[in-house]
Amino acid sequence: MSNQIQHRIKHRHSLRWRLLTLLAVMLLLTLVIIGASVYYFILQNEHRSWEGRQGEAARFAAETVAAFIQRTQDKLVTVSLLDPAMLAMDPDLLKKLLDESPALLEIIRLDGSGEVLASANQDGPLLANLFTIPQSRWFAESKAGQLFLSNVQISSNGQPYLIISVPAPGGGVVAARLRMNVLWDVVAGLRFGESGQAYVVNRQGKIVGHTDPEVVLALTTLEGRPEMRGVLEAPDQKWSGSYDNFQGMRVIGVTQPVYNTGWTIVTEVAESEAFRVSETALLLLGAGLIGLGVLVMLVMGRFLSRLILDPMERLRTGTVRIGQGDLSHRIRLNRQDEVGQVAEAFDEMVTRLRDREVQVAERTQALKDSEERFRRVISSISNHIYMTEVTKGGQRIDRYVSPNVETITGYPPQLFREDPDFMLNTVVHPDDRDIASTRTEYFIQGERDDVEYRIIRANGEIIWVQDSRRVEADIDKQSLIIFGVVGDITTRKEAEEVVARARDQALEASRFKTQLLANVSHDLRTPIGGILGFTEMLQAGVYGDLTAEQQDATSEIVDGTRQLLYFINNLLNQARIEAGKILIRNTSFVPQELINNAQSMLGFLAQSRGLQLTNEIAPDVPPLLEGDPNWLDQILVNLVSNAIKFTEQGSVHIHISLPDRDHWALAVADTGPGIPAEAQTYIFEAFRQIDSTTTRQHTTGSGLGLSIVKQLAVLMGGWIDLTSEPGEGSTFTVVLPLIAVKEEAIS
Amino acid sequence: MTVQALDQKPLALVIEDDNRQATVFAQALRMADFETEIIQNGREALNRLSEVVPALVVLDLHLPEVAGKDIFEQIKADERLVKTRVMLATADPLLAESLRAEVNLVLLKPISFNQLRDLASRFRPR
């Protein structure tokens, strides 16, 4: 595009050329019309002017000629009126008359038969000597009463003349030879311009008088010539017109009839002269107009250039420069008119374009930076990142495959770009392809889907990867875009396996421990059952009556055995709690029976230690409570055993109460040494007792009792409280939820 | 089959593999005025149960060859033994707990001689 602009516009296609041509044509047309009009006007004026002048001259000449002829006629008439006899007698009379009239060469008086009655002449008799008078036309005409003017004739001495004759009374005729000089002088006196001439034509078209006598003497006739047509057809009318005269000259001619003579004065002036002014004017006008035209064209051209073409050129070159990328260029016409506005708009556009360019450049830079960052991030992390488009038809297109794919799979990225299914069909472990395949229909927009699967690297190595992917719908294309990050998690996976194995082993060990404990306690209990049974049989006298000492001994055996049993039970219970094998089975029970059980089991022990074992049930406690009597027995036995163990003297008191509407409490208070505050927190931990150094004298315990109590309390939905002051004794209170007793249990 | 005399004591079977326990149980039952037999093997127990109709069976759940629970099921299924009372003995409190609903008495080992003697006398047929 810019290349085309760069070419200069062909000359004839240029706006300048076209505009100037148009202008020139219009101007020329206008000037031609003006010039033609003016010229025509001048021409017409001049024509009329010449016609006027010629007409004037002709009229004057005609009048002069007419007057001259009239005078001559008058003289002849006067002669005619004279008595012929007298004329004959006095020849000097005519001679005198002749002398008075220098124009007359000869004058004769004739009678009706043509006989000369009297004559006089200045250059010799001519008419008087004629024998042919009676046959003469002039004689015949005048005898008939007409004035007659003959054609010009030449005398023997070379004098031109014409014959004029008038009728005389009595059938006579007076005739005279009239010297043409006079007429010619008149004609010659008609001067106008340089080429102007006048001549007299008679009815036959013969020139009778001319500025140039030779013309007359040559007996020139104009008969048949166009200019004569009017003259001859209407001798008494004026006529004017342009024509080529008998001399071959283009002339303006004006005719004027001469009164009473049948002659016509013709004045002619050459058109070349007549229209000299017009021609000059035409020349001047033409030159002037052409000059004006050229001037106007120049001015217009300049004006056009300044007004339109130069700015257009600047616009054009500016556009070319801008098109070539020079956005700093501005047209800057600084004009208020339309062109200026165009330039301003253009500059504004370029400014905006430049701003846009700057913006684009900034954005491009930002994009580059972003991409660079992205690339660095990508290259800095070991994860492989991909973007796959799944079209509506289910076709997969890899939009992006990060170079790290090679780090992870060992295959070059091109393979993945060329075949979108390369990863799934070749790299992913055959057993894991179901997991790895992206089932887009399961995806929820924007939700992440983390899967872990194995891949077989190019070198055959099998590694674990995690594929975190997210799906976004591309609304425009009606396709799905999957963004995914694939990372090598083999190390983690191995660690997890180690941990899992360790956990399995630990669980196995724990199960084994529990089982072991269960077996051990069973195996321990069976022989204890034997010991207890045989001792009881001894006491019962199965093997004969016992002495008092023997009786005491067996009691010691039973007591010790029961204690042993108690420890074993605790051990077993702890194991069961740890294994989560405790089952709480709630049923209704009588609170007093709970106390009685403990009393029967531990009463003897308390008594043997010199302690009082007392109990109390608050009056608001209902006759039946809901709970698991087995475990409640365990709790109470543990608490009481513990109290007896640590109390030197005084009492152990069991107390059942309702601390609030939703709970009941089983409390065991002793008058022992109390538990230091710092010990109150860990006393409930398994296998812990109060610092063994301070309680060395009370090492008879597994340290499980309180731990089991606390755990059972929690399992039953309750808790254990301890209030103790060193030296003031301790009170352990197990608070348990008060569960409504079932109806049938009450009835 | 022996014909029981009018003054003959009711029969109690002690099915227990541990010698000492069996002796204690048998003694307690004798003192509760039962004729007692000790069987230490599950199979033998089943055989014996097909021959006699005991009034009381003290059954240990941990037995060799045939489990105590199977013997218990057998007793319950046998119409001849409808009147036979069963006392189960186990060292496993969970098991004891789960069987409490189905059986006359579940005793958690170790079982006190005095306790068994007192309980057994209550199970004597009148």
What pLDDT, on the 0 to 100 scale, is given for residue A231?
67
Please give the pLDDT value at position B1. Answer: 41
- How far is the C-alpha of A601 from the C-alpha of A611, rounded, in Å? 14
- Domain membership of residue A41 (yes or no) is no
CATH number at residue B51: 3.40.50.2300
pLDDT band at A154 (very low <50, low <70, confident <90, very high): confident
Of B91, B97, B112, which has the smallest distance from its Cβ to A525's Cβ?
B91
Burial of A689 (0-12, 13-18, 19+ CB in 10 A): buried
pLDDT above 90 (res A586)? no
- Within A169-262, strands assigned E span 172-179, 197-201, 207-210, 239-244, 250-258
Instruction: Examine residue B125 and state whether it is found in any structural domain, yes or no.
Output: no
Most confident range, picked from A297-311, A583-597, A694-708: A583-597
Q: Is B23 domain-assigned?
A: yes
Residue A731 parent element (H or E): strand A729-737
- Nearest-CB residue to B27 (from A527, A537, A565): A537
List of chain B residues whose C-beta atoms are within 8 Å of the C-beta of residue A521: 91
The answer to the question of residue B3 being in a domain is no
CATH code: domain of residue A644? 3.30.565.10
Asked if A699 and A607 sit in the same domain, the reply is yes
Please determine, for residue B95, whether its predicted confidence score (pLDDT) is greater than 90. Answer: no
Choose from A536, A539, A631 for mutation: most chain B CBs within 10 A: A536
Those of residues 516-545 in A touching chain B at CB distance below 8 A are: 518, 521-522, 525-530, 532-534, 536-537, 540, 542
If asked whether residues A595 and A721 sit together in one domain, one would say yes
**Which residues 14-53 on chain B approach chain A with CB closer than 8 angstroms?**
18, 20-21, 23-25, 27-28, 31
For chain A, what percent of residues have pLDDT higher than 70?
92
Cβ–Cβ < 8 Å for A696, A717: no
Percent of chain B with pLDDT over 90: 24
Give the pLDDT score at B12. Answer: 92
User: What number is the average pLDDT over the span B39-55?
Assistant: 90
Contact A537 B92 (CB under 8 A): no
Q: Is residue B4 part of a domain?
A: no
A105, A179 contact by CB (below 8 A) = yes
Q: Are residues A394 and A507 in the same domain?
A: no
pLDDT of A623-675, one tens digit each? 899 988 888 988 998 899 888 888 888 999 999 999 988 899 999 999 988 88
In a domain, B42, yes or no: yes
The residue among A737 and A237 whose pLDDT is bigger is A737
| Residue A291 in contact with partner chain B when CB distance is under 8 A | no
Same domain, residue pair A138 and A230 = no
Same domain, A589 and A700: yes
- With an 8 Å Cβ cutoff, is B69 touching chain A? no
When mean pLDDT is compared over A174-188, A299-313, A573-587, A725-739, the highest value belongs to: A725-739
Total domains present in chain A: 5
Does one domain contain both A400 and A521? Answer: no
Residues A471 and A556 in one domain: no
Which whole number is the average pLDDT over A706-729? 89
Helix (H) or strand (E) holding A484: strand A479-488
The mean pLDDT of A575-599, rounded to a whole number, is 83
Average pLDDT, chain B: 83
DSSP string, A541-571: TTTS---HHHHHHHHHHHHHHHHHHHHHHHH
With a CB cutoff of 8 Å and minimum separation 6, the contacts of A541 are none
Tokens matching residue A306 = 């300044």
pLDDT recorded at residue A595: 92
Q: What is the mean pLDDT of chain A?
A: 81
- Residue A315, in any domain of the structure: no
Give the domain extent around B35. 11-118
pLDDT at position A390 is 80
- Residue A295, in any domain of the structure: no
pLDDT at residue A8 in the model: 57
Tell me the helices (H) and strands (E) count for chain B, helix number first: 5, 5
Q: Is residue A38 part of a domain?
A: no
Confidence of residue A481 (pLDDT cuts 50, 70, 90): confident
**Chosen from A519, A523, A537, A584 to mutate, greatest number of chain B CBs within 10 A:** A537
Q: Do B91 and A581 touch (CB under 8 A)?
A: no
A443 and A577 part of one domain? no
pLDDT for position A446: 63
pLDDT tens by residue, A170-183: 788 888 888 877 77
- CATH code at A452? 3.30.450.20
CB contact under 8 A, B21 and A530: yes
Q: What is the pLDDT of residue B14?
A: 93
> Could you give the number of structural domains in chain B?
1
Instruction: Say whether residue A297 is in contact with chain B using an 8 A CB cutoff.
Output: no
B104, part of any domain: yes
CB contact under 8 A, B24 and A536: yes
- Least confident stretch, A230-239, A550-559, A660-669, B102-111: A230-239
A688/A736 same-domain check: yes
In the numeric block, which tokens belong to residue A230?
A: 């009017």
Last residue in a domain, options A128, A159, A181? A181
A434 and A501 assigned to the same domain: no
Best of B17, B19, B21 to disrupt the A interface (most A CBs within 10 Å) is B21
Q: Let me know if residue A509 belongs to a domain.
A: yes
Please check whether residues A741 and A631 belong to one and the same domain. Answer: yes
Which chain B residue lies closest to A629 (C-alpha atoms)?
Answer: B97
Measured distance CA(A132)–CA(A145) in Å, rounded:
19
Residue A522 covered by a domain: yes
Local structure of A582: helix, strand or coil: coil
* B21 vs A526, A536, A583: nearest CB: A526
The domain boundary, picked from A252, A275, A298, lies at: A275
Residue A463 and residue A575 share a domain = no
Full residue range of the structural domain in which residue A633 is found: 582-746
In a domain, B123, yes or no: no
Q: Which residue has the higher pLDDT, A499 or A741?
A: A499
**End position of a domain, from candidates A223, A253, A275:** A275
Lowest mean pLDDT among A70-79, A264-273, A699-708, A713-722: A699-708
